[in-house]
Structure 1
Amino acid sequence: MRSGSFRLRCRAPFGNNGHSRRSYPRAEARTVRTLLVLSLLLTSLSPLTAADPPKPVKVFVLAGQSNMEGKAKIALVDYQAQQPATRDLFKHWQKDGQWIERDDVWIKFLERKGKLTVGYGSPKCIGPELEFGAVVGDRLTEPVLLIKTAWGGRSLYRDFRSPSAGLPPDAALDKMLADLRKQKGKENATLADVKKPFGDSYRAMLDEVGDTLANLKKHFPAYGDQGYEIAGLVWFQGWNDMISADATAEYAANLTHFIRDVRKDLKAPKLPFVVGQMGVEGSKPSANIKKFKDAQAAVMDVPEFRGNVALVKTDAFWDTDAEAIFKKGWRENADEWNKVGSDYPYHYLGSAKTMCKIGRAFGDAVLELRGEKK
């Protein structure tokens, strides 16, 4: 017998007619029986083999002000989902004419939570979250959770100001105090009253993220205690800073502080970070908007942000059709307007097409930073 193998030795396979029966040497027969038993055991046990454990949830934070909230009204989305020119944007969100929910993508937007579907923008609206969730949900094999922390009318200069930015210069604070005291009922305001709002929204953002992650099973019963990873943050904000010369002048520095502090406080040193550059007025913005866009883009020159921060130019998704009707007179042309827009220019005209395209661009950008290939 050759080393490491065995050979079956046999005689003629007949019965008692003068020929011998097939026979095996005892040791080889025992080996055959052992192999057969092992094979049967493995076959019988295979259905009982434990399934792969669920993978950690990929968590994406969507932060900012009103345009991250999203102002495209569902009435417009309902209409465009049925139109030949626009229905392809929404067909993956509908079945038999009804909006579907995604089992693999959850969302929490302050007091609202559930499976991702339409309606997680401002009340009765959609925002970038809809198509962002579709992109990351389709690409990733893990469950996805979107945590939206967005409030209208907030600035990075004051409300989202992060700890390492400190406070503005004393001269700026003194001017704020003087302006505050001019308001009725605020004549006795103090410097402490001026300082108090700084960083409020930053802290609220961290509180919302922390509370959600600490209570995942409570918020999402399908969560299987498999853990999570904070996989990216998208920042879509700017209007309140753009309309202030002081805030615009500080924006690049404040955003640099913000990115560093978010990564520190979320304990994610290389957290993929996407900045949605203001796109209001499209490719021909006013001087103020252009100056502000340059301030936003300046963070891309910070050496430590190379390869882990991305800038999405949302002006590429400006809805010129909606803009044309708005300028012609949206009230006087309501029938035309209600087919393309649903809000003011500073809210991207409430364009559903724009919100969807921005959301997809955000999703592609954060996945590219993570090295996830299409």
Structure 2
Amino acid sequence: MDDTELRHLTPVVLGIIVRRGAEFAAAEDAVQDALIEALRVWPDDPPDDPKGWLVAVAWRRFFDATRADVARRRREALVAQDLERAERGSGGGASDARSAAPPAGVDDTLALYFLCAHPVLTPSSAVALTLRAVGGLTTRQIAQAYLVPEATMAQRISRAKRTVSGVRFDRPGDVATVLRVLYLVFNEGYSGDVDLAGEAIRLGRQLAAVIDHPEVQGLLALMLLHHARRNARLSAEGSLIPLAEQDRTRWDTTLIAEGIDILQAALARDRLGEYQAQAAIAALHADAPTAEETDWVQIVEWYDELTRLTGNPVVRLNRAVAVGEADGPRAGLAALAELDDSLPRYRAVAAYLHERDGDPATAARMYAEAARAAPNLAEREHLVRQAARLNTGLSR
């Protein structure tokens, strides 16, 4: 069994152990022990029922740890009682918090998303915990996403696990946090580093089936529309292919049609949110027969709505690209000049606009600078090739 299937089984097994009565932190530790044992045993002796095997081993590890902990606490309690009797002549007791089972019929993985998005957690802790416990990402991957040291992220996740331990499993979490987590998981999978995009879409479908909210529909539409272009994003050699250069015959028209239908139903409810606005932009790209026929004027209008909704500087950065396409590169550069040049991908956008404005020397320099700050290898190689292409032209 490969890592992808193990990652898929992890939240399922974790949900079962929690529903059996284990506190979240203890259950997560037990499941991690079971996964380590699976990696050791399965290559030589694969089980007929991988999920059943993981549940059995995880539950046994949880039970053994609990029994050892109970024995330790019993010894400590006896010592404490002896001391108390000596001083007061009375004893004490302790309570045992249990996690309640999720509502019948709710997918275990989806229920875990809501537990990890519990109101007692901050949004950043909720996202980190979900990516670790449900998404199957390593602490190192999450730390890289947050741009913090791995040790810092490990402490954050540990605190979050302790916070939700003993919390009732049937209290609703924050839907906005769940949506944010789903989109982060989707983007991690979409990058190709970890294949979680399909799982995020599966959970998005389930969420849309049980929660009647236009932003839930908006996120599902957005993921479907992005996922429809996945096969065209990389060359056979693994090189990044920009949207304008992608072979649109390789886009999945079934997913595009489904995403647009879901988006139209959400927009008809007149409760616009950021995921609907993002999906509308993606739909305009998907609907254009060629890159030249893209309706950039409408895309700028949707970026204006998205800026109003979020105030996000990265949204304004993307808007500068759209302005450059709709009104010319000088207008795009003017919009870019209003932003902080330390923003991620700022120099890549500046390079593109300078090239379109007929300044290849500045564009080549900025492509090279952008490559040094690129967040992944595929993007770095693409930017290096762009710089090399322009430098070759300048040397002739």
For the aligned pair, the TM-score class normalised by the smaller chain equals under 0.3
Structure number with the higher helix fraction is: 2
Bigger relative contact order, structure 1 or 2, given CA contacts below 8 A and separation 6+?
1
Structure number with the higher strand fraction is: 1
The TM-score, its normalising length taken from structure 1, stands at 0.23
